[in-house]
Amino acid sequence: MREFKIVGKRVRKVDAASLVRGKPLFTDDIKFEDMLHARILWSPHAHARIKNIDTSGAEALPGVHAVLCYKNVPRVPHTTAGQGWPEPSPYDTYIFDNKVRYVGDRVAAVAAETEEIAEKALSLIKVEYELLPAIFDPEKSMEEGAPVIHDEPDCRQVLPLFYDPKHNHCAHIEVKTGDPDRGLGEADFVIEHKIKNHYAQHCTIEPHSCISYLDPMGRIVVRSSTQVPYYARRIVAQCLQVPERMVRVIKPRIGGGFGSKQEIVVEDVCAMLTLRTKHPVRLVFTRPEVFVSSRTRHPMVMRLKTGVKKDGTITAIKMHVISNTGPYGSHCMTVLGSTCAKTLPLYRCQNIEFIGDTVYTNLLNAGAYRGYGVLQGSFAMGIMMDEMANAIGMDPVDFWIKNTIRKGETSPIFSALSEIGKGAAQTVDSCALPECIGRGAAVFGWREKRERYRSQPDGSIKRGVGMVCTVHGGTVALLDMSSATAKMNEDGSFNLLISASDVGGGCDTVLSQIFAETLDIPLEDVVVYSTDTDVTPYDKGAYASGTTYLSGLAVIKTAEEIKKQILKVAADMLNEPQENLKLENKGVVSAKSGNRVEFGQIAKRSMYSKDQFQIAATASEFSHLHPQTFTAQFAEVEVDTETGQVKVLSYVAAIDCGTAINPTLAEGQAEGSIINGLSYALTEEFIFDEQGRVLNPSFGKYKIFSAPDIPKIKVMLVPSYEPSGPYGAKPIGEPAIDGVLPTISNAIYNAIGIRLTESPFTPEKVLRAIKEGKKGH
Amino acid sequence: MDVIISANTRILTVEFEYLEPETISEAIDLLTKYGGEAKLIAGGTDLLVDMKNGKIRPRYLISILRIPDLNYIIEEADGLRIGAGTFFQEIVDSQLVRDKYQLIHDAAMSLGTAQIRNMATIGGNICNALPSADMPPALVALDARVKIAGKDGERTLPLEELFVGVRKTKLRGDELLTEIVVKRPPERSGTAFIKLAKTSEDLATLNVAVRVTVAKDGACEGARIVVGGGIGPTLIRSRKAEKILEGKVPNETTIKEVAEAACEGFQCRPTSIRASPYYKTEVSKVLVKRALLKALENVKEGAEG
Amino acid sequence: MMREIELNINGKKRKIAVRPKDLLLNVLRGELGLTGTKYGCGTGECGACTVLLDGKPILSCLTLAVAVDKRSLTTIEGIGTEESLHPLQQAFVDAGAVQCGYCTPGMILSAKALLDRNPNPTEDDIKQAIKGNLCRCTGYVKIIAAIQLAAKRMRGETA
């Protein structure tokens, strides 16, 4: 266990004090003079052509400054996916189109002097629709004769990726390693299941928010609650048909993201309205709009077939997936890719077949959501592992231990596939999974509870336990890049300029800790600033659990550059060679003479006195491989067999994220992840009617956990050391949520002998399954 | 079912006047004057949501919050009188209610959150007439009667007769609910309230309120069995089920019979956000059974609410 | 039709002209410049708009400004001072109960109302008190710990 001065310490989040005071830190907390308010007209139909749209009534309303629709906005095919460039998602979206593809799709937008006037203006827009048949079933979407959702000639993939929109088929991935058919043949038991996860909304408490305005030079400034400021800049520029230098994106505090703001949901239309009206324009979604018209999780239909020998060897894994991306293809390939590329390396199995297809439907628009395919893949595999263990009579803990990857090992999946296509071979350089399993099981009381629940008491209440292991590789290897800039101030402090886009997880704090550790300065001497694309250097943004890891590496590199400059000046001031000198406690000290010079002195000298230059550096790092974060998760549930209600009594997660730069923040990420996963597993559900409309776009009817719903939960950070990571750190943002669905399914199975393979595990589903006597295979 | 994706929940677009009478008769005068264009408002937690969603567009809102005569909890010899303008948090905080009318306390506690309980009134909850409301089943189980005042004077009726359908009561346009009177259950009574919802902060999918009175030999002398939630346009009190219990010492078979009877005649919506008709019918029986068992356990010497 | 109302906000009397349909949340965030109170849903289901009315938590997104004329309101800006944080605020900072911070103002006010009534709450009391404040980042774990920590400190007990 390496000890550091600030890294690994539970320091307070740097923005916490201002947040608890309710300071105006969020996008919608600042008003601008002459600001207009934007509202969007949404489609009431799942699939229709706009035959005509008459905006004259709206335009004539006093106080209305602009009404936009497909008629007066340039048609620029693009993707809203917040990804690197060129994007591995099809360019199938337009600011406004003359076709609508789901209930909640954009039709028009208004900017007016008050929100009320804008609202009234919406009601004055007359739209004539030609209804088209809609397709809602992803398993039927590719069939001949199914309604074609993207029949426009200008939709395309910009990378040479599979794309067959005529069959609603927007991604296809095939991976094969070894000989899966032979593997199945060698098995003593072959298990088959169809596993389905469901639509979910991120439910960030802050809705999607944006204010855009023209600065005095005529540039478009976009202030937005975005996880991907640089992508927002690029895509806004693309849609408005202006060069990137004409757009500036500023990210204030974000009230939660979880992937829903890794998309250009509001910025393009807001900026376009500013361009037209020359006014600042405010566009803030209402809650129903967040539910229906922002983004959701990809529902997948996963068909699994695995083979296992009596001795516990997994002989083959076959996974066929149909992923439903909704009406537009943002993240359609990458989420699918991750389902294989980031899930399957966990397993010691050489014979793997993965065939995945993503399809369009006229339901909700799926995009990035914490877990990003790995949640879906782990759901499926977590169940299969449990079934295999049960089939051969092995305790799941032993089965997982036997079949999961270890430090120094590799998986054929690494080189076969990555999120974006071609893989990159790698070995696992740090893995504390055995300790996670061991310590997690001990703290949870696994063996004792398994024994206890072999026999259930009479009565309607049954209890059971389940467990699962997961892996989640952070970043998108060979693609993601992060940078940081730092400059020194007279008092020896530093400005740390980053675009890493803290969504609330605390990366501003974590990166400050990393910077402070590298230069051996107190945390308060790091003034972190995030994010402004005019000022802070490029960072991919907050996704793929890459901020601690990759932005952290960039910050270290930047600090090392600064170190060199400091030592050079110090050497001159102390008149000693640099070899004698080292950084210590906000100063430089000579190991030889004991002489010392403070950072403040160094800064003042280099700023004002001699050989003046600004001590500053910018450095970048790009991701060479995926650092693998492992978890072992355990749940104890109570099932009321008369009402079908499932109550989680306790939940333990042991997580190997390498070095936890800030254990409090890391725990916070894990705890939040798990509770999100639990309400996803048990209570969250979108209800649609036959016309594809969402019937429950509110917190009152789409239920997420409140405080009294949480179980006893314990998160344990099990340390390892990732040599490629900043001070040994690995990602933490996503891994925990991946394991919740299968852990609960496994616990329910242990309690009542019924295997639930379709989430959410609502009381109704459980009760019906009990009544129908649904069992295992 | 209403689709509200276009509703702006941030602002109210309806134009209205906000009137604040200070006496009950002033309120009646205003209701009479403005008729169908007026709506009574207490906390507004239901009404303002409906207005934001465009379901209701009143020109006048008549607030009852400044009428002190509507806010009280008074113990009588044989019961409890609660002013319609009493806030749920006040009911929860009342030692009297907690000690002697546990059923009402439990129903009030299960309602919403601390914030909602500080804003919502018992009268508002009743008059909004949602079948999933938590308070009405508990009140009906205690033989509640409501006092109504209008331009033609006062009248009272049993609470269970007030509800006509979803969001529909027998209140006329000029009338307002002024008081709820609850009867003290006889000696050797026990009550129970059970709510089933998706999460801890949720409207009821199902709720059940039960009161049983038991003779010294254990035979049931009287019962009230009320089921609410998404089981029909109004809550259902099953006199048939109550009769089955009468005179019998309740055993497993009786209770099963009672539960079956209590859950007859449901009119669940075929498509529902919360649960299917099958689920609601099956599980109501379970909840009635459990509530009965709990109420029987709660039977104590001395009147018990 | 404008009506002049007087609100006592965080100890200061403010006179403003509002229309009957103006919601307290929007008046606080707009005319009064108090943006600590947040819009999360507008239908009373998330608690981000929680303020204290005579010390009791209510939802400002479902309160008409005219309905609280002459009443006393507390928003997050009225908790603690510029120089020092209220023990609840400090505890939230110390216990890692603040992630994105958007639910935090409402959460702290609900917690304050609880501790003002009940200085020694059980874990269950705390959960019930914040039941109406949704948080998606923390899973509530450290929020509950922070409220327990604040309660302890406010009772004068050392950690």
Distance of alpha carbon A294 from alpha carbon A364, whole angstroms: 9
CB spacing of A671 vs C46 below 8 angstroms: no
Q: Closest approach of chain C CAs to the CA of B16, in angstroms?
A: 7
Degrees to nearest 5, angle at CA A589 with A585 and A592:
145
CB spacing of A674 vs C92 below 8 angstroms: no
Q: CB of A11 within 8 Å of any CB in chain C?
A: no
CB spacing of B3 vs A704 below 8 angstroms: no
Looking at domain B189-298, its CATH architecture is: 2-Layer Sandwich (3.30)
In this predicted structure, what is the pLDDT of residue B26?
A: 97
Please tell me whether residue C78 adopts helix, strand or coil conformation.
Answer: helix
Interface residue of A119, A461, A675 to substitute, partner B, most B CBs within 10 Å: A119
Contact A695, A288 (CB under 8 A): no
Does B161 score more than 50 pLDDT? yes
CB spacing of A115 vs B4 below 8 angstroms: no
CB spacing of C26 vs B10 below 8 angstroms: yes
Torsions phi, psi for A347 (to 5 deg): -100, 135
Interface residue of A9, A15, A18, A19 to substitute, partner C, most C CBs within 10 Å: A19
What DSSP element (H or E) covers A128?
strand A126-131
CB spacing of B45 vs C61 below 8 angstroms: no
Does A315 score more than 80 pLDDT? yes
Same fold, B68-183 and B189-298: no
Interface residue of C50, C141, C148, C149 to substitute, partner A, most A CBs within 10 Å: C141
Look-up: residue for tokens 């995009």? A367
Q: Which residues of B touch C (CB under 8 A)?
A: 8-18, 43-45, 48-49, 52, 61, 63, 65, 89, 112-116, 118-119, 200-201
In chain C, the residue whose alpha carbon lies closest to the alpha carbon of A31 is C30
Stretch A129-157: mean pLDDT:
97
Comparing CB atoms, the residue among B6, B279, B287 nearest residue A767 is B279
Distance of alpha carbon A623 from alpha carbon A609, whole angstroms: 40
In this predicted structure, what is the pLDDT of residue C118?
A: 98
Degrees to nearest 5, angle at CA B254 with B253 and B257:
90
Between A396-403 and A374-392, two packed helices, what is the crossing angle to 10 degrees?
Answer: 120
Whole-complex ipTM: 0.98
Question: Rg for chain B (alpha carbons), in Å?
Answer: 19
CB spacing of A289 vs B10 below 8 angstroms: no
In this predicted structure, what is the pLDDT of residue A643?
A: 97
Distance of alpha carbon A195 from alpha carbon A299, whole angstroms: 10
Name residue A320's beta-bridge partners.
A303, A355
Distance of alpha carbon C40 from alpha carbon C62, whole angstroms: 12
Torsions phi, psi for A669 (to 5 deg): -60, -45
In this predicted structure, what is the pLDDT of residue A594?
A: 95
- Confidence class for position B2, pLDDT limits 50, 70, 90: very low
In this predicted structure, what is the pLDDT of residue A623?
A: 83
Taking only the tens place, the pLDDT of each residue in C49-81 is 999 999 999 999 999 999 999 999 999 999 999
Q: CB of C84 within 8 Å of any CB in chain B?
A: no
Between A332-341 and A374-392, two packed helices, what is the crossing angle to 10 degrees?
Answer: 30
CB spacing of B9 vs C1 below 8 angstroms: no
Comparing CB atoms, the residue among C42, C128, C132 nearest residue B10 is C42
Torsions phi, psi for A132 (to 5 deg): -120, 155
In chain B, the residue whose alpha carbon lies closest to the alpha carbon of C109 is B115
Contact B124, B89 (CB under 8 A): no
CB spacing of C136 vs A672 below 8 angstroms: yes
Look at the domain C87-154 and name its fold: DNA polymerase; domain 1 (1.10.150)
Does A606 score more than 90 pLDDT? yes
CB spacing of B49 vs C64 below 8 angstroms: no
Torsions phi, psi for A106 (to 5 deg): -75, 140
CB spacing of B9 vs C42 below 8 angstroms: yes
Comparing CB atoms, the residue among C76, C77, C93 nearest residue A16 is C93
Does A421 score more than 90 pLDDT? no
Q: Report the mean per-residue pLDDT for chain B.
A: 93
Distance of alpha carbon A208 from alpha carbon A205, whole angstroms: 9
Write out chain B residues lying below 8 Å of C39, CB-based: 10
Contact A265, A295 (CB under 8 A): yes
Comparing CB atoms, the residue among B8, B275, B287 nearest residue A764 is B275
Q: Where are the domains of chain B?
A: 17-63, 68-183, 189-298
CB spacing of C108 vs A713 below 8 angstroms: no
CA atoms within 13 A on the CB side of A637: 31
Torsions phi, psi for A267 (to 5 deg): -65, -35
Write out chain C residues lying below 8 Å of B11, CB-based: 21, 23, 26
Quick one: tokens of A430? 């740090």
In this predicted structure, what is the pLDDT of residue B1?
A: 35
Q: From A758, A674, A759, A739, select the one nearest A709 (Cα to Cα).
A: A674
Touching A: which chains, 3+ CB pairs < 8 A?
B, C
CB spacing of C93 vs A665 below 8 angstroms: no
Whole-model pTM above 0.90? yes
Does B304 score more than 80 pLDDT? no
Distances (CA, A) of C39 to A205, C21, C24, C101, C143: 8, 17, 11, 13, 20
Distance of alpha carbon A477 from alpha carbon A475, whole angstroms: 6
The rounded Cα A656 to chain-centroid distance in angstroms is: 19
Q: From C19, C30, C5, C23, select the one nearest C61 (Cα to Cα).
A: C23
Furthest C-alpha separation in chain A: 85
What lies within 8 Å, CB to CB, of A509 at 6+ separation is: A11, A12, A13, A14, A15, A502, A528, A662, A665
Distance of alpha carbon A591 from alpha carbon A577, whole angstroms: 11
- Confidence class for position B91, pLDDT limits 50, 70, 90: very high
Comparing CB atoms, the residue among C76, C93, C131 nearest residue A22 is C76
Interface residue of C4, C26, C59, C70 to substitute, partner B, most B CBs within 10 Å: C59
Taking only the tens place, the pLDDT of each residue in A200-242 is 999 999 999 999 999 999 999 999 999 999 999 999 999 999 9
Look-up: residue for tokens 């890049």? A481
What DSSP element (H or E) covers B240?
helix B239-245
Touching C: which chains, 3+ CB pairs < 8 A?
A, B
Stretch A659-684: mean pLDDT:
97
Least confident of A270-284, A474-488, B111-125: A474-488
Taking only the tens place, the pLDDT of each residue in A380-392 is 999 999 999 999 9
In this predicted structure, what is the pLDDT of residue A777?
A: 34
**Do the strands A48-54 and A99-100 form a parallel or antiparallel pair, or are they unpaired?**
antiparallel
In this predicted structure, what is the pLDDT of residue B300?
A: 65
In this predicted structure, what is the pLDDT of residue B5?
A: 60
Q: CB of A695 within 8 Å of any CB in chain B?
A: yes
Distance of alpha carbon B2 from alpha carbon A694, whole angstroms: 10
Taking only the tens place, the pLDDT of each residue in A515-567 is 999 999 999 999 999 999 999 999 988 887 778 899 999 999 999 999 999 99
Number of residues that this document lists for chain A: 777
- Report the share of chain A in percent with pLDDT over 70: 99
Domains assigned to chain A: 16-23+480-622 (3.30.365.10), 31-132+205-256+261-293 (3.90.1170.50), 300-476+625-771 (3.30.365.10)
Cis peptide before A86 (omega within 30 of 0): yes
The string of DSSP letters for A731-759 reads: --SSHHHHTHHHHHHHHHHHHHS----BS
Q: Where are the domains of chain C?
A: 3-78, 87-154
What lies within 8 Å, CB to CB, of A451 at 6+ separation is: none
Contact A150, A92 (CB under 8 A): yes
Q: CB of C59 within 8 Å of any CB in chain B?
A: yes
Taking only the tens place, the pLDDT of each residue in C14-36 is 999 999 999 999 999 999 999 99
Q: From C82, C60, C90, select the one nearest C73 (Cα to Cα).
A: C60
Tell me: domain C3-78, CATH 3.40.50.720, correct? Answer: no
Look-up: residue for tokens 């314990």? A714
Looking at domain B17-63, its CATH architecture is: 2-Layer Sandwich (3.30)
Distance of alpha carbon A501 from alpha carbon A594, whole angstroms: 41
Q: CB of A647 within 8 Å of any CB in chain B?
A: no
Name residue A621's beta-bridge partners.
A482
DSSP A216: T
Contact A93, A79 (CB under 8 A): yes
| b/e A557-596 (16+ beta carbons within 10 angstroms → b) | bbbebbbebbbbbbbbbbebeeebbebeebbbbbeeeeee
Write out chain A residues lying below 8 Å of C31, CB-based: none
Q: Where are the alpha helices (DSSP H) in A642-739?
A: 663-682, 735-738
Helices (H) and strands (E) in chain B, counts: 12, 14
Residues 104-143 of C with CB under 8 A from A: 104-105, 108, 124, 126-128, 130-143
Taking only the tens place, the pLDDT of each residue in B172-218 is 999 999 999 999 999 899 999 999 999 999 999 999 999 999 999 98
Contacts 24+ apart (CB under 8 A), C12-15: none
Write out chain B residues lying below 8 Å of C129, CB-based: 114
For B68-183, CATH gives 3.30.465.10
Taking only the tens place, the pLDDT of each residue in A388-416 is 999 999 999 999 999 999 999 999 999 88
CB spacing of B118 vs C44 below 8 angstroms: no
Comparing CB atoms, the residue among B9, B52, B113 nearest residue C132 is B113
In chain C, the residue whose alpha carbon lies closest to the alpha carbon of B43 is C63
CB spacing of B283 vs A643 below 8 angstroms: yes
- Confidence class for position A443, pLDDT limits 50, 70, 90: very high
Q: From C51, C55, C61, select the one nearest C24 (Cα to Cα).
A: C61
Taking only the tens place, the pLDDT of each residue in A744-763 is 999 999 999 999 999 999 99
Comparing CB atoms, the residue among B13, B52, B200 nearest residue C131 is B200
Contact A413, A177 (CB under 8 A): yes
Distance of alpha carbon A259 from alpha carbon A226, whole angstroms: 10
Write out chain A residues lying below 8 Å of C139, CB-based: 671-676, 705, 710, 713
